[in-house]
Amino acid sequence: MATINDKILAASAKHPQPGNVFQYGTAGFRMKADLLDSVVFRVGLLASLRSRKFGGQVIGVMITASHNPPEDNGVKLVDPFGEMLESSWEAYATRLANAKTDKELLAVYNKLEQDLDLGTNKTPKVIYARDTRASGSRLVGCLVDALEATGTEYTDYKLLTTPQLHYLVRCSNTKGTEYEYGDISEKGYYEKLANAFKLAVKHKKPQGPVTVDCANGVGGPKLRELIKYLDGTIDIRVVNDDVLKPENLNVSCGADYVKTNQRAPPSSKAGPLERCASLDGDADRIVYYFNGENDKFVLLDGDRIATLAASFLGELARQSGLAESLKIGVVQTAYANGAATQYVTSNLGLPVVCTATGVKHLHHAALQFDVGVYFEANGHGTVVFSHDAYKAINNHEPQSPAQANALETLKALSDLINQAVGDALSDLLLVEVILAHKGWSVKDWEDTYVDLPNRLVKVHVLLRSMFVTTDSERRLLEPAGLQATIDSLCGKYKAGRSFARASGTEDAVRVYAEAATRGEADDLAQKVANAVSRATPA
């Protein structure tokens, strides 16, 4: 009888390594889809090991390239509690992906089996899903070959948003425990969100429609499905939801297009002050926007969602009598607008923590609070409630009808908000709840503070690894002397702030600058970019 090792060798022979060098980055592996067969096969091997490491708990595999062009694809792993893969395992994924031959791959796999102290012999379990890309079903085939070869039990959830898969992983592993998260089904996801939303807006119905651009991705059909469970409590108008033409995915639409180009999708028919939102290709990011006075485009990005959520959660905690027991905090990266940071500390009186770029860093830091609000400026984020926060919310005896109302809304939000990962559908409903409660238009939301003009530029350098940062990427240790130059440049501009760091996803150094006026922000960004270029070999 063929051993597992024989089976891995035979299956691997169907998916030869193309000779490329791969790296499991911030968002898993991501590249042109036709290069990915061997990578997905090998991620399948790792998912099986990861499940064995946790005594047979369910691990998730998501096949998506999010906001990338339609011809790309990617793959990432979901850990047992629904979080992103633990960083130390990213290196194992990279090692497996880069083994040149089938034999070498098997050697790496067997070595990991030995080194990882896998403990019990429980059958490994994996669940997986994919976005709407044309290459998705072929890549699923590669994944299944690995799961079959390793004797891993698996369930194919077909098309899902990334956060839906995270939800299912968390539900699977918490069933019957005190952390039980929900029913292990797609329907369970919609029911959980819809019930929480209906409860949260029981007394305050959202005013006017919200138009949601779904990037022609998987978020479209999933949002349409969610709407069926909302019983007309909100008017959501779905646009750019054509998934039958996968070549249209993220093309001139979607959250990344809107954030990068600072404009609405050209197909948008929104009138002045109409509430609009855009999801990305796998629906884990969302940004809001509208046409303001004189047709000025106004973006309400992740910073704005974070400040809105923090302000509302702070109010609810006070109104329900839980201000003392719920420590609320906001987590941002250095890319957050200085005005947003200032608003949270000065106006809301809440602490702000800055972390390195990448949502896993933010998520981790947010767990230090009872209620941790975290968003990247690009619209990826969520609010995490600690176990103690759930206990406090669920055990608190309200002292008045007003307290009872606030508590009910707070409870509903703790169910509405995806605890595993940033989720565009959950975040959409969260924003809608808050605007409804505050009775705010998008203009009122914008008016909470004035963003500092800012500029983000990319500098192409020969060796981005030369750029070594400290202080949550806000300051450079190397190249020597460059930080002093940046400091002195910032000092010349009112409210000047700038930093440079190597991108983790592109071969470039990113320079961010903000200042009191548009001209000064642009000027500062350009000068720092020039200094970055000068500090590196040509």
Instruction: Give residues in contact with Mg ion (CB under 5 A).
Output: 66, 280, 282, 284
Q: Which of 506, 507, 519, 534 binds ligand GN1 (CB under 6 A)?
A: 506
Least spacing, CB of residue 230 vs Mg ion, in Å: 23
432 near 213, Cβ under 8 Å?
no
**According to CB under 6 A, which residues from 362 to 401 bind ligand GN1?**
376, 378
| Residue 341 contacts which entry, Mg ion, ligand GN1, none (Cβ below 5-8 A, type-dependent) | none
Q: Does the annotation count 185 as an active-site position? A: no
The residue type of 125 is K
Distance of alpha carbon 191 from alpha carbon 509, whole angstroms: 44
Query: Is 48 a binder of ligand GN1 (CB under 6 A)?
Result: no
Least spacing, CB of residue 104 vs Mg ion, in Å: 32
* Nearest CA among 308, 277, 262, 257 for reference residue 453: 262
25 near 504, Cβ under 8 Å?
yes
Residue nearest to Mg ion (CB): 66
Taking the CB of residue 404, how many other CB atoms lie within 10 A of it?
A: 15
Binding span for ligand GN1 by CB under 6 A among 91-99, 276-284, 355-363, 513-521: 355-363
Least spacing, CB of residue 327 vs ligand GN1, in Å: 26
Binding span for ligand GN1 by CB under 6 A among 5-13, 211-219, 304-312, 505-513: 505-513
Taking the CB of residue 107, how many other CB atoms lie within 10 A of it?
A: 12
Distance of alpha carbon 520 from alpha carbon 93, whole angstroms: 44
Q: Which of 17, 57, 307, 357 binds ligand GN1 (CB under 6 A)?
A: 357
Distance of alpha carbon 63 from alpha carbon 77, whole angstroms: 9
3-state class (DSSP) for residue 477: strand
Cβ-in-10-Å burial (0-12, 13-18, 19+) of 195 comes to middle
Residue 284 vs 427, nearer CB to Mg ion: 284
Q: Which of 155, 195, 448, 503 binds ligand GN1 (CB under 6 A)?
A: 503
521 near 472, Cβ under 8 Å?
no
Determine how β-strand 328-333 pairs with β-strand 371-375.
parallel
| Residue 464 contacts which entry, ligand GN1, Mg ion, none (Cβ below 5-8 A, type-dependent) | none
Query: Is 23 a binder of ligand GN1 (CB under 6 A)?
Result: no
* Binding site listing for Mg(2+): 66, 280, 282, 284
Query: Is 504 a binder of ligand GN1 (CB under 6 A)?
Result: yes
Cβ-in-10-Å burial (0-12, 13-18, 19+) of 221 comes to middle
Least spacing, CB of residue 457 vs ligand GN1, in Å: 11
* Binding site listing: 66, 280, 282, 284, 376-378, 501-505, 510
Query: Is 510 a binder of ligand GN1 (CB under 6 A)?
Result: yes
Interface with ligand GN1: number of residues (CB under 6 A) = 13
3-state class (DSSP) for residue 434: helix
Q: Which of 45, 49, 279, 359 binds ligand GN1 (CB under 6 A)?
A: 359
Residue with tokens 């949502």: 359
Least spacing, CB of residue 360 vs Mg ion, in Å: 14
Least spacing, CB of residue 332 vs ligand GN1, in Å: 11
Sign of CA dihedral 106, 110, 115, 117: positive
Q: Which residues pair with 455 in a beta bridge?
A: 513
Q: How far is CA 261 from CA 142, 249, 258, 302, 465, in A?
A: 36, 17, 5, 15, 28
Binding span for ligand GN1 by CB under 6 A among 89-97, 167-175, 184-192, 501-509: 501-509
Q: Which residues pair with 74 in a beta bridge?
A: 30
Least spacing, CB of residue 358 vs ligand GN1, in Å: 5
Distance of alpha carbon 274 from alpha carbon 269, whole angstroms: 10
Q: How far is CA 88 from CA 50, 84, 143, in A?
A: 12, 12, 22
Cβ-in-10-Å burial (0-12, 13-18, 19+) of 395 comes to exposed
Query: Is 355 a binder of ligand GN1 (CB under 6 A)?
Result: no
Stated as kind and residue range, the H or E segment containing 58 is strand 58-63
| Residue 504 contacts which entry, ligand GN1, Mg ion, none (Cβ below 5-8 A, type-dependent) | ligand GN1
Residue 56 vs 504, nearer CB to ligand GN1: 504
Residue 341 vs 426, nearer CB to Mg ion: 426
Query: Is 337 a binder of ligand GN1 (CB under 6 A)?
Result: no
Q: Which of 4, 7, 23, 26 binds ligand GN1 (CB under 6 A)?
A: 26
Q: Which of 505, 516, 518, 519 binds ligand GN1 (CB under 6 A)?
A: 505
Catalytic residue (choose from 12, 38, 51, 66): 66
Determine how β-strand 371-375 pairs with β-strand 454-459.
unpaired
Token duo for residue 383: 């609010």
Least spacing, CB of residue 498 vs ligand GN1, in Å: 14
| Residue 282 contacts which entry, ligand GN1, Mg ion, none (Cβ below 5-8 A, type-dependent) | Mg ion
Instruction: Point out which residues bind ligand GN1 (CB under 6 A).
Output: 26-27, 335, 357-359, 376, 378, 503-506, 510
Q: Active-site residues: which are they?
A: 66
